Structure 1
Amino acid sequence: MPLDRYFQYSDNAEEERPLYLFDAKFADKVPEMGSDYEVPVYFQEDLFKVLGEERPDYRWVIIGPAGSGSSFHVDPNSTSAWNAVIKGAKKWVMFPPEVPPPGVHPSSDGAEVTSPVSIMEWFMNFYGACRTWEKRPIECVCRAGEIVFVPNGWWHLVINLEESIAITQNYVSSAIT
């Protein structure tokens, strides 16, 4: 889908689960975009760099209208991540690795996850209960110019509170193993 067509869609999206655009090849397609930002100093060590061309996808530009987002998941390959909001606002809800979010059921090997049909369904049916737990979720709203860190193994959900554009990057650090 060309970007101008996506923006037409996004401007008029009214469904509960609007499309959320992830582009892992943005820096290949538009090299200026890849050089328009620097990896924050805290996240520069990346052991996956040794893989060179064999490295799995690790950075994305992410664009979505209000209401779009990602349901609960743990990032792959034992990676941590950072997410920098360029435009808009995103609500994050995170649980430590030993506390699967309510309503989310990982398989015994963690390879598959069953979760509510939508992010809104999770908020309506499970959010209230977990806010009284001893190990409550960590929550924040990240706005333009702000960065959130997602530690290796942490469950996280994000919902765009406004039309949002962000850069996110996964990495492996010797500090978190």
Structure 2
Amino acid sequence: MGPPGTVTRLHCDAGAAHGYLGQVVGRKLFVLFPPTDTPFLYRIEGETETEQSAIDPLDPCSSSKYPLYNLASPVAFVLHPMEAVIIPQGWWHYAVALDASITVMQNFYHAPTNAKGMVQLVLKSIAGLKLAAGGT
């Protein structure tokens, strides 16, 4: 839920998850980039849960600040109420609410395509819990 202008920064979901987003109220602009664009999206180092980018696809200065960004192939569309989109693993996505909006989002795993990512995410979480508890 959010007011107009609410932004979800450009990122890939954790654990190689697929995601679906369903728009319930309002409209939302999405900009997606295929996994092959990763080298052009200036990944922010040190992010632990998701891969995030320094790029703002709507900032006209992004092309001059980040020259490799000019090689990227964005796909943009507006999601309207009662529409949904599936974002496959590895696809970068950015969203901005054009109206007050409610969006339902869920990550999911599919055995033939990305179950390994879920297992790695769970193992990483368990390792983090052990470290936080002082274990090895």
The bucket for the TM-score relative to the shorter chain is 0.5 to 0.7
Higher relative contact order, chain-length normalized (CA < 8 Å, sep 6+): 2
TM-score by length of structure 1 reads: 0.52
Partners of 2:41 and 2:69 within 8 A in 1:
no
CA spacing shift, 1:83–1:127, aligned 2, 3 Å? farther
| Correspondence 1:116-131 to 2 at 5 A | 116=55, 119=56, 122-126=58-62
More helix by share: 2
**Residues 69-105 of structure 1: CA distance to partner in whole angstroms, max 9, x if unpaired?**
2011110111100000000001111111221385633
Q: Which of 2, 5, 12 lines up with 1:74 in the alignment? A: 12
CA spacing shift, 1:110–1:84, aligned 2, 3 Å? same
Residue identity opposite 1:174 in structure 2: A
Query: How far 1:126 sits from its partner (Å)?
Result: 2.7
Partners of 1:131 and 1:137 within 8 A in 2:
no
User: Residue 143 of structure 1 aligns with which residue?
Assistant: 80
Count of residue correspondences? 110
Residue identity opposite 1:168 in structure 2: M
Distance 1:158 1:137 in 2: 13
Residue identity opposite 1:169 in structure 2: Q
Partners of 1:65 and 1:164 within 8 A in 2:
yes
Residue identity opposite 1:146 in structure 2: E
Identity rate, percent: 25
Distance 2:91 2:101 in 1: 23
Runs of 4+ in structure 1 deviating by more than 6 angstroms, as ranges, are: 127-132
1:152 corresponds to 2:67: no
Partners of 2:31 and 2:95 within 8 A in 1:
yes
SS of alignment partner, residue 60 of structure 2: helix
- Identify unmatched segments of 5+ residues in structure 2: 115-136
CA spacing shift, 1:162–1:175, aligned 2, 3 Å? farther
Q: CA RMSD in A?
A: 3.0
